[in-house]
Chains A and B, each alone.
Chain A
């Protein structure tokens, strides 16, 4: 499932995938894979992304079930 909240949060800060990738120390393809929902990041990477975007884990990664 696509992570549109991550994409929106990144876009709100006018950051490119590459800029976010550089900020958290991964490749651009990894950020793209997370946004496309084809890769589930570790909690370590999730927190790094949250810090870089100024969001909480809930705001970016929590999925409401049902």
Chain B
């Protein structure tokens, strides 16, 4: 067991936490899709691709935050520093793409959120994961990793 991606392993408590996280993530996904369908039907604010991406992003945030809070996001022996950097880079890159699209006027067309909104949603996911992981790390440190 050396932390290679192909050797990902979670212990029994982590598996239970992840099961709970996936349950709530699934509920959030369904709720998000329903909310998107209803609101888009009323005032057409978003293209379907972006609406679905936003719903998936919300559910991903729920899954990740529950896992992080339960110390079940990263597998055993994971090199966390690298994961933090990857989350931050992917999040900022996606937010950057959304910002560029916004500056070029491609983010909203006729008051409707376009495909670059998916980058915005994904960026929010990864930045949220980074922030949640950083906060959890700080909490653990403040607790002194007490035994």
Q: Which A residues form the contact surface with B (CB < 8 A)?
A: 7, 16-17, 25-30, 32-33, 35, 39, 41-42, 44-45
Contact indicator A42/B12 (Cβ below 8 Å):
yes
Q: Which residues of A contact B71 (CB under 8 A)?
A: 27, 29
Closest chain A residue, CB of each to CB of B1 = A25
Q: Determine the residue in chain B with the shortest Cβ distance to A32.
A: B147
- Residues from 77 to 111 in B contacting A, C-beta threshold 8 Å: none
CA distance A50 to B147 in the complex (A): 18
Residues of B within 8 A of A25 (CB): 11
- Give min CB distance, A44 to chain B, whole Å: 8
Per-position binary interface string of chain B over residues 45-75, scored 1 when its CB falls under 8 Å from any chain A CB and 0 otherwise: 0000000000000000000000000010000
Do A30 and B147 touch (CB < 8 A)?
A: no
